[in-house]
Amino acid sequence: MAGDAKIIAAFDAAADSYDAWTQVQRDVARALVDRASGAPAGILDIGAGTGHVTGFAKEKWPGARIAALDAAPNMLARLKAKFPEVETISADAAHFSSAARYDLILSSMALHWLPEPGQALTRWRGLLAPGGALHVALPVEGSLWQWRDFLRGAGCQDSLWPFPRADFAGACEIVDFPARFDSALAFARSLKQSGAHRAAPGSQPLPAPALRKALAGQSGPFTATFRVGFVRLDAPAR
């Protein structure tokens, strides 16, 4: 993770509960790794969190050298406990630079948290070795529309974090990943337990009494759909 210190702190605080509340993020990570090909010797996982992408990359390329980058130290500690042989890099993904070059760079469900996603993509692409590829998955506009509709219907301000346009980096593949919960309350809890509850810039967090009232009035299953864009960029010509 990267960027805003409060975002980093939220994810850091959620490190112990993250894995139990992020099935969709795990599914997206698997789909991202499935889309990458070749036999990369060096792989960089940006915004690695507790290691969803890293784990799938290790399964697919057991002989590769993998480095995992994140700005939340507790997240990296969880990843390192699972994969002690993986190099961990504590750094801000928005501004990371290195002399190292990677055959494959992967990033899942992290880029949208950065203040300038397009600039970050350009920086990351510059870390590729000749012939390398950058694969990124991120939620785009249209994600979590059910939650936005629920809040509007309850008369609550929508302060959900904004998502980039689907075409912000050019053409990309769009896939919907529905997440199903026992209730809207369970979905709201998942945002907190995964660290993804920061309010949008310039907006105020939902007042707890108003949100509790709205959640208490909803019963039955609740679906929240992540609309995910899969972006691929090849190494720039040298």
pLDDT tens, position by position, 25-78: 999 999 999 999 999 999 999 999 999 999 999 999 999 999 999 999 999 999
- Does the pLDDT of residue 2 top 50, yes or no? no
3-state SS assignment for residue 168: strand
Residue 101 φ then ψ, to 5°: -125, 145
Domain covering 5-138+229-234 in this structure, CATH number? 3.40.50.150
**Cβ–Cβ < 8 Å for 194, 22:** yes
| pLDDT of res. 6 | 87
- What is the per-residue pLDDT across 209-237, written as a single tens digit (0 to 9) for each? 878 888 888 889 999 999 999 999 999 87
pLDDT of residue 1: 44
Note the pLDDT tens digit of each residue in 123-171: 999 999 999 999 999 999 999 999 999 988 888 877 788 899 999 888 8
Q: Rounded CA gap, 11 and 8, in Å?
A: 5
Question: pTM for this structure?
Answer: 0.93
Per-position DSSP letters for 37-88, written without gaps between them: -S--SEEEEET-TTTHHHHHHHHH-TTSEEEEEES-HHHHHHHHHH-TTSEE
CA 228 from chain center: how many Å? 10
Share of the chain above pLDDT 90, in %: 78
Distances (CA, A) of 124 to 15, 162, 211: 25, 22, 38
Q: Between 34 and 1, where is the model more confident?
A: 34
Provide the Cα torsion 81, 83, 85, 88; round to 10°. -70
Residue 152 confidence (pLDDT):
87
pLDDT in tens, 102-119: 999 999 999 999 989 999
Domain ranges of the chain: 5-138+229-234, 145-226
What is the pLDDT at residue 214?
85
Burial class (CB in 10 A: 0-12, 13-18, 19+), 78: buried
CB-CB neighbours of 175 under 10 Å: 14
pLDDT of residue 3: 52
The whole-angstrom separation of Cα 53 and Cα 30 is 7
- The structure tokens listed for 117 are 């996603």
